[in-house]
């Protein structure tokens, strides 16, 4: 199942290069942009930002969400293969969705990806 933009499963966290060529990450719920030193780092930060947003909703039921709920993710994506445009060897929000969809223990800390994925 495709989870890229413009589907409802596309990551609302975006990254792009600014005028200086540095990658910046933005999301509707972030009050500022986050600067990153490379595309791989920007992808990780974007996936982590979505994971953090979903974790915050779990900690604070009833808080406003910019993304489908964990229950919706499980119901519609559970047991499916997910496809996005991200390179397979780099962090992607689809990894976050797969963890939730397959009912794995979801970490509620800020970083979803291991330190080995933090290079730029």
Strand order in the sheet with 34-36: 14-17, 23-26, 34-36
Per-residue pLDDT at 113 = 54
Kindly report the CA angle at 43 between 13 and 15, in degrees rounded to 5?
Answer: 45
Whether the per-residue pLDDT at 72 is higher than 70: the answer is yes
Parallel, antiparallel, or unpaired for β 23-26 and 34-36?
antiparallel
Confidence class for position 116, pLDDT limits 50, 70, 90: very low
CB-count burial class (<10 Å; 0-12, 13-18, 19+) for 67: buried
DSSP 116: G
Per-residue pLDDT at 59 = 82
């Amino acid at each position: 199942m495709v989870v890229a933009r413009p589907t409802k499963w596309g990551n609302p966290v975006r990254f792009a290069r600014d005028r200086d060529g540095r990658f910046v990450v933005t999301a509707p719920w972030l009050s500022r942009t986050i600067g990153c030193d490379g595309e791989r780092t920007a992808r990780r930060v974007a996936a982590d930002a979505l994971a953090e947003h979903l974790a915050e909703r779990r900690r604070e039921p009833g808080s406003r969400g910019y993304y489908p709920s964990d229950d919706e993710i499980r119901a519609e994506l559970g047991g499916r293969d997910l496809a996005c445009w991200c390179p397979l060897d780099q962090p992607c929000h689809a990894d976050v969705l797969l963890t939730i969809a397959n009912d794995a223990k979801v970490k509620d800390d800020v970083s979803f990806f291991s330190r080995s994925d933090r290079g730029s």
